[in-house]
Every structure is written in C-alpha cells, then in structure tokens.
Chains A and B, each alone.
Chain A
Amino acid sequence: MDAARIIVQQEDFDIEAEVARMTDGQPDVGAVVTFTGVCRHEHGKLAALELEHFAGMAESEIRRIAEEAARRWPLTGVTVIHRYGRMRPGDRIVLVVTASEHRHAAFEAAGFLMDYLKSRAPFWKKEHLRDGSVGAWVVARAEDELAAERWQDNGGSTAMRR
C-alpha cells in the first residue's frame, strides 16, 4: 500500500473524489468502504459543534492508526479526512475510506479506524446550543474506549496499547 492519505482541515471534503482516488488506475481493487461521521442536532437542542484539535499531533496520531490498520489487513489504500472548527447539524465531520481486493478487509479496517479515531485522535467537541448558550464539552463515552480495546483481543498486536 502507498502511504495513507491523512488530512486534517477546516473545509468539507468530496466523497466521490476520494473514492475515485482509490480505484483510478488500480484494477486490483475490488472493494471500497466509506464511513462518514455527521454532526447530529441532538433532538433539536444543538446549534453547532465546535471541534478543537491538537494541530501538532492530530495528523501524526491518525497516521499511526492508519499504518496499524495497513499492518493488520491487506489494504490497497487508506484515506482519513478529519475536520475541525464549527460544524452545524448535517455537516460532515470525518471521512474514512478503505480499499482492498476483497470486502472483508475494507469493512473491518474502516471499523477499526473509526474505533481508534474516537478515543485516540486529539480532537474535542464543544456544544453550542440553540438557545444561544454555550453547552458542555462532549464527554467521552466508555463504549468508545471499549470499542477500541476489543480490537486488541483479536488482532494480536500490542502496538496500539496505552
């Protein structure tokens, strides 16, 4: 696999173009999986989410996670685009694209990447409410931490362990 394509940016992304990058001129690719994370309105109470990030570390940490995915599954490509700044409900926040010869590797690697991004990529979300007030920082969910940990039992690798 070529180096993973990792982008941390404020702007939105073009999913079609990112999928095309995985397949153009690569006739060995048989499967492309995309995951898009979207800002929810939280039952109407949310006006916006503000994503803060650690600029110096976000890209290198996502790259570390992508490289681990490429070690575990026979991938032909990995792309991760993570946005920061102010997101309104409906805005896209994160894109993961994985490609492989067969579907299982692409599906599993995309799930692995998202589980690790949730608990290890240095981003934090703050809520802005529709009544104009600034809400709380989103609290990390224990399920997200567990979702990442479950990959440690069936991959045999200890590279991602804290």
Chain B
Amino acid sequence: MKLLYFAWVRERIGKPEEEIELPTAVKTVGDLLGFLQERGEEYAHALAEPKAIRAAVDRVHARSDTPLTGAREVALFPPMTGG
C-alpha cells in the first residue's frame, strides 16, 4: 500500500511517501496508525497523538474505523488549515 504524509506528519516521519506491505491484521485506519507507531521512533513521534491525525483513504476523508479493504493509498496529515 502507498502511504502519503503531509505537513508536520511528513516532517516528523522524514519522508513524503512510501510503499508498505501491511500485515493482514491491519484492517482499519486506526489499525494502521497502531502498526506504524511500532515502526520506529520517528513514527512514534509523528503519530503519538492519534486524535491529532487525520486520514484520507484513496483521497476521501476517512475515520479511524474506516476499513482499508481494497484501498490503494492512505494519506496521513494534521488537521487542515486551508482557506
């Protein structure tokens, strides 16, 4: 699966995107955050407060219980500050 990171999530993880093979136990956006937190210090730092992280699955806003079934791309980012 392709993962994209934006703003301070990108800065803390240290890369804008990557391809990751997900274990079958990772079924939702919330599961993905938990899985990534275990990948290393930079991930743990970026995702320390899951409530401050927003996600989009295949470019549509998602929630922590949104399933990843069939998803090709997940973006993780802080709350948006456009406008």
A and B interact physically: yes
Inter-subunit contact B59/A56 (CB<8 Å): yes
Q: How many residues of B are in contact with the other chain, CB < 8 A?
A: 17
Per-residue CB contact flags for chain B residues 41-61 toward chain A (1 = under 8 Å, else 0) read 000000000000000100111
Q: Which of B6, B61, B75 contacts A52 (CB 8 A)?
A: B6
Set of chain A residues within 8 Å of B63, measured between Cβ atoms: 162
Q: How far is the CB of A108 from chain B (nearest CB, A)?
A: 17
Set of chain A residues within 8 Å of B60, measured between Cβ atoms: 57
Q: Which of A123, A137, A145 contacts B82 (CB 8 A)?
A: A123
Category for how many chain A residues contact B = 20 to 34
* B80 touches A (CB below 8 Å): yes
Inter-subunit contact A138/B82 (CB<8 Å): no
| Residue among B59, B60, B81 with max Cβ neighbours from chain A (10 Å) | B81
* B40 touches A (CB below 8 Å): no
A interface vs B, CB < 8 Å? 37, 51-54, 56-57, 60-61, 82, 93-94, 114, 117-126, 137-140, 144-145, 162
B interface vs A, CB < 8 Å? 4, 6-8, 56, 59-61, 63, 75, 77-83
